[in-house]
Structure 1
């Protein structure tokens, strides 16, 4: 969701600059902000308006029931230059048709300049302002865009997403890309086990969410999926892969450059893309089997399900989890991850401090 730049970003930058200034009196807050500008940007949902020879990505604010565009995007949309768009906006504000405060917002936009990513704060205009310009330029695209925009916003409100159906029908590669993205979301840690739980509730004849037996069932299912991906349990992954000396502590699947302790405790975050794909395939095999049982009205105990899943994995030549061997290591793993995380935090904080000290003073 698009959020207006209300100063929280600047406040964050000032707090960082204060810390840098304490370590180096010659440091300027603007320089410290620039060091972190790219990492401190806002990500917003996008929707693409594509017709004839134009293709424009607009920011979607489903909660505010609007879209956002830069002045250049509005100019491209209606086939005018930015000066003309600026004049029409000024007239719309002067005539009281729209309110400047209600229809504008400043948002960070990341651009490639000189071969590097640079974040610039650029003024954006919402759907009311875009339509006000469209009514003044009398472009036939105004009606087409309005119909598209209202459809997109309705789909976001109802579904939480919007699809470009015409493009998907005519572009097999786009369909495949979308299917892979949906599969990745489907097998996200939280979504995967929520769906496993939902299926087991429907097919298990002895399901009791409060019983130790069911909790043990889900723990074993989690390790079956991890073992299918890399032939290690969740605890073994954390013990062997959480490493303070590595970038992002060795994590590969979460996108935050400053991972939290909660991120560090999720075994799936350490799996490689290839291992994630193998885990997804194991999930597919599980869900095909269980959903077939549900469709046929069959049930099984949780113990029978575990045994059947082993058979399904064996048939599909997926590595079978052999069961737990050796001592219980969770306390040891928790302590290891916490130690590595504390070391990682100390190392990266020192690196940021060293980088800040190397910055030239402002002129």
Structure 2
């Protein structure tokens, strides 16, 4: 591996990383060399001591306590990096990721640690109130979480979603999953996934997916009232075909649905091109506003 590749892999980030953790106190230069790798921040015990303005042995004491109390699993937060020391020699140095850095910040007693805890409390409060919290510096700096590379990858993901063979409502949920704060276990996610199909159906013909099936399925009509099915037009209708709401839509309704989803994907693509980060709440709100902007009704309750 070349020196250049090695440098890129480790991506040394100075003040912005420390600022993200502590708002860096006014201590001269305030530089803390952190290694950014595998979408995580890594500090040695010495650098943590610098960050919180405490002795290295204090950091070591608290880390041992954190691991012995099973607050964190040591193997999951520790990684060795090959570092060039001031003597020009390379050494393997033990580093700790953001989870450990934060845990130590809540244990040590120093002015800078108190400053960190105040900052962290504010972030938690913002997260609770807004549903997300961002660091403006990280938004500005390329190479970090929301830099130019992030939005390029976001745009690529959205275009892949457009070209996929996924069902129309699954493409909308795929877009939702690109949110910067995406959490598959969140109640907001469960709500969105449970309602998006019905919202789209309602916008097109004023019925939920279940209502379409109940009102249009009829064993006395040709093909059970289906307008399409998996092996249509000549293949056999299977049991699962009759439980798919879109299989009962008219050609006009299907075209409307396809245009609606395509236009929503256009909006998502435009957001990525303009480098606008979107949260789960943003995507849910955007879908409602989009449906409303097309003079269609939004499903309530």
TM-score category of the 2 structures, normalised to the smaller one: 0.3 to 0.5
TM norm structure 1: 0.35
